Amino acid sequence: MTEAYFVFLNAVGLIAFSFSGAIKGIIKELDLFGIILLGIVTALGGGAIRDIMVQKTPVMLTAPSYVLLSLVGVIAAISVKGKRNIAVYTKIFLISDAIGLASFTSTGSIIAYQSGLGMIGMIVLGMSTAIGGGIIRDILANEVPMVLNKEIYATCSLAGCIVFWACYRICDINLTSFFSMATVFVLRMLAIRYRWNLPKFS
């Protein structure tokens, strides 16, 4: 059961992130290949960075399902394009993106835990997995990565990693993972709802 809901959330994350990458590609007027590549890289990039840092073969090299799920997001983005109900789509996008952020943060922290790493390892791997794909997406699109100057986004992921670290000694790993995900998701939703922003120093 826990396994099944994890797989489900991970799939939602892959689709949401590839969707966001493909949308960016369409805005940047890339060709079909560029759109597909940007979608796939956004979905799989964070996980690849995570796996490379702990000397694991990136999952995407062996799991066709990851690439196929990413293609679902790309196809969704292409078919959405030109449709009218942008407000609804934006809402769906933000919610699923937050679910992706939440589940990927948790995945990264779990890998750190399984690799015997401590708090710093959980934070670095959790955040790399959650925000790495988006950073690669924006670099390829020749922009300053959104997470560096947008409303509270990576900070939610950071909070989730810290919750993971605080819970994993006293809780079951599944429960820990759930607390971590819930923290990220709820914080992100609140940040969007109330337009929270971090201070700037310009």
Q: Which CB sits closer to its own copies, 117 or 186? A: 117
Q: What is the DSSP string of 53-122?
A: HTT---GGGT-HHHHHHHHHHHHHHHHHTT-S-HHHHHHHHHHHHHHHHHHHHHHHHHHHHHTT--HHHH
Using rule CB under 8 A, residue 75 touches its own copies: no
User: Can you tell me the distance from the alpha carbon of 181 to that of 101, in angstroms, rounded to the nearest whole number?
Assistant: 8
Contact 164, 119 (CB under 8 A): no
Q: What are phi and psi of 153, to 5 degrees?
A: -135, -65
Q: Which CB sits closer to its own copies, 120 or 190? A: 120
User: Can you tell me the distance from the alpha carbon of 156 to that of 102, in angstroms, rounded to the nearest whole number?
Assistant: 8
| Contact window for its own copies (CB under 8 A) among 8-16, 87-95, 96-104, 134-142 | 134-142
| Contact window for its own copies (CB under 8 A) among 8-16, 63-71, 85-93, 170-178 | 63-71
Site for its own copies in 31-60 (CB under 8 A): 31-35, 37-38, 48, 52-55, 57-58, 60
Site for its own copies in 165-194 (CB under 8 A): none
Count residues contacting its own copies (CB under 8 A)?
Answer: 58
What are the C-alpha distances in Å from 48 to residues 72, 172, 177?
A: 19, 26, 20
By the criterion CB under 8 A, which residues form the site for its own copies? 25-26, 28-35, 37-38, 48, 52-55, 57-58, 60-64, 67, 78, 81, 112, 115, 117-121, 124-125, 135, 139-145, 147-150, 152, 154-155, 158, 197-202
